[in-house]
Amino acid sequence: MSPTGKKILLLYADRYYLLNQVYPFGLDMISNYLKKRGHSVNIAYPFLPHMDYRENIRSVIEQTDPDFVGIGIRNLDTCMSCEEYGDFKGDGYQTFFFLPQIKEIVSEVKQVAPGLPIVVGGGAFTVSPSAMLEYLGLDYGIVGEGEEPLCRFIEAFPDKERISQVPNMVYRSAEGYTVNPRKPYRFESGLTLERRDPGFNFAYQATAVPVQVKRGCNQRCSYCIEPLIESPRFVFRNIGSVIRELKAIARNMADATSIFFVDTEFNLPDLRYASHLAKAIIRDGLHERFRFTSQLIPKPFDTEFAKLLAEASFSVVFSCESFSDRVLEKNCISYREKDVVEAIEICEKSGIHSTICLIFGLPGETYETMDHSLAKMREYPFCSIRTYEYTVGGRIYQGTPLCAYVEKNRPSKYLYGTKSEGYLLPYYYCAPASPFEVREYVKGVFPELLCYQNRYDDTAHRRLAICYLSDQAMWEDAVSLFIQSNVAVQAGVYDYLFKRAVQAEREDDARAISLAFLGNIENAKGDVDPAQADIARFYLSCLGQGQ
């Protein structure tokens, strides 16, 4: 840290991480930017390792003694209206709603460190900034890309006049809240994340390592907030810079085997950039080191492009939404049924694994259009290289075409949830029936079809806590928690913890958890696969101690 540098604590306030371990990519980019400019930065997850987030916040503030706290708000909710295990429900729907807990985090930070400057940002914040600051009781936020704006805010604070000149800044003013114009984004010259934050190593293996190659989306899909978050204008990253980053990941992250390109849609606005990138991946042999995945739409997509993707070790996730032209047109979606079908057929012929994502219940949906989509799914059924996933209804977010449609037409019979300031509270459009009824209709035809379900329990939390502690190099706590845990928790995390301990040259810890695990297996009386004991014995033998 430079003599003028500040200590920054970035809190990844996405409770969804407990359900789906997506690492804080945006915060890591901000962290790298700030560190290059002489600041000291720590990224922490307030919901781990303890069940009580207050204890986690108190601990991390005591350890880091920050001058500023940034809070990243990635999600308001899960966008999904049929969450069987959700904590927020109403007539015909149920979901996870994260904002109340984020408000509690803000309150705890204020209580632990009164007067500490707090600034919020992230994708969810960008959609409804003024309403969210009001809800959270805060003075400052940043919309869109946060690297430069947060740095300038830190340098300007507490000078309110200077703060008011920072692009992307949202701040309390005499008029309520002022939202400054966003500065057009450009990728920093030579931008390469040589190393990712090691505190979230488990996420890299549980999901994939995210890599960004462009920003922007020029589509107008009724329900989607991506053009609001990233702008409709495309900004491309230099392909050489992308390749250097992939090589750095290969060099520095031995356990990383999967890369996810986090574009809104990889094949927009046309196939040229994506094709050049795939060729560069093949040329440099990176397709032999990684599996790649990205989100695409069915058009543009052709056989030549598919062959490139197949050779470059890609799988694809298609945002298809529906097979019905009526639904697609009604929701301002740029492709049609023939494009969806053609993309599916091309992937099958090219041997590319494809995941087809659908949304049932958008404007224009009827039982007839649902039947049509379900019939097409039977025509192109599940197979070894094709899967389907679906959600129900469209979450209404401020500023989207769906929001404008609802405000203009007020189709009350198809609205579920609560209209609120900034559309912060869960609020859905779903036709021709409630989200629960639409889901049951789909399940009646395809009971095995995957409708996103996010189950959370204490066992999962404890496993994540052990991984998090080891990633944060808090080894005594990680080993102690592992030894105190039941055999079900240990079985789910033993392999990861053992390998992390060995990598950290902590062979005594690796040995201790192995012996504890073996002892628990012997007492479990058939509750654990006996092969787990064989694995633990083999690992012990690698340490020079058999069992």
The pTM assigned to this predicted structure is 0.94
Tokens for 258, please give them: 């999967």
Q: What is the DSSP letter of 288?
A: G
Whether residue 432 is preceded by a cis peptide bond, meaning omega within 30 degrees of 0, is yes
Biggest CA–CA distance in the chain, Å, is 72
Residue 158, C-beta contacts closer than 8 angstroms, at least 6 positions apart = 117
Give buried/exposed letters for 146-157 (b at 16+ CB in 10 A, else e).
Answer: bbbbbbbbbebb
Each residue's pLDDT tens digit, 2-34: 778 999 999 999 998 998 899 999 999 999 999
248 vs 6, 189, 194, 252, 254, CA distance in Å?
28, 17, 5, 6, 10
For residue 301, count other CB atoms closer than 10 A to its CB.
Answer: 22
231-240, 259-268, 387-396, 524-533: which range is least confident on average?
524-533
* pLDDT given for residue 206 in this prediction: 86
Residue 144 has pLDDT above 90, yes or no: yes
Tokens for 489, please give them: 């928790």
For residue 76, count other CB atoms closer than 10 A to its CB.
Answer: 27
* 172: confidence class by pLDDT, cuts 50, 70, 90: very high
By C-alpha distance, which of 423, 416, 418, 421 is closest to 400?
423
Residues 537 and 196: their CA atoms lie apart, in Å, by 32
167-171, 254-258, 334-338, 398-402: which range is least confident on average?
254-258
Each residue's pLDDT tens digit, 535-545: 999 999 998 76
* pLDDT given for residue 310 in this prediction: 98
Residues above pLDDT 90, as percent of the chain:
86
Each residue's pLDDT tens digit, 457-510: 788 899 999 999 999 999 999 999 999 999 999 999 999 999 999 999 999 999
Mean per-residue pLDDT over the chain, rounded: 94
Residues 48 and 29: their CA atoms lie apart, in Å, by 21
Each residue's pLDDT tens digit, 30-66: 999 999 999 999 999 999 999 999 999 999 999 999 9
For residue 382, count other CB atoms closer than 10 A to its CB.
Answer: 15
Determine whether 125 is exposed, middle or buried from the number of CB atoms within 10 Å of its CB (0-12, 13-18, 19+). Answer: buried
* 190: confidence class by pLDDT, cuts 50, 70, 90: low
Residue given tokens 């007839």 in the structure block: 368
Tokens for 77, please give them: 């909710």
Residues 367 and 437: their CA atoms lie apart, in Å, by 11
* 440: confidence class by pLDDT, cuts 50, 70, 90: very high
* 547: confidence class by pLDDT, cuts 50, 70, 90: low
Residue 472, C-beta contacts closer than 8 angstroms, at least 6 positions apart = 199
Residues 2 and 19: their CA atoms lie apart, in Å, by 38
* pLDDT given for residue 186 in this prediction: 87
Q: What is the DSSP letter of 49?
A: S
Residues 202 and 472: their CA atoms lie apart, in Å, by 11
Each residue's pLDDT tens digit, 287-315: 999 999 999 999 999 999 999 999 999 99
* pLDDT given for residue 449 in this prediction: 74
Residue 150 has pLDDT above 60, yes or no: yes
Tokens for 305, please give them: 């492009």
Residues 278 and 312: their CA atoms lie apart, in Å, by 6
Whether residue 300 is preceded by a cis peptide bond, meaning omega within 30 degrees of 0, is yes
Residue 456 has pLDDT above 80, yes or no: no
Determine which helix (DSSP H) or strand (DSSP E) holds 356, and give its type and residue range.
strand 354-360
Each residue's pLDDT tens digit, 347-381: 999 999 999 999 999 999 999 999 999 999 999 99
Determine whether 192 is exposed, middle or buried from the number of CB atoms within 10 Å of its CB (0-12, 13-18, 19+). Answer: middle
For the CA atoms of the chain, what is the radius of gyration? Answer: 24
Helices (H), 138-254: 147-156, 160-163, 201-206, 226-230, 239-252
Tokens for 244, please give them: 């250097």
94 vs 81, 159, 435, CA distance in Å?
5, 44, 9
By C-alpha distance, which of 421, 388, 219 is closest to 318?
388
Beta-strand (E) ranges in 366-514? 386-392, 394-395, 415-417, 427-429, 450-451
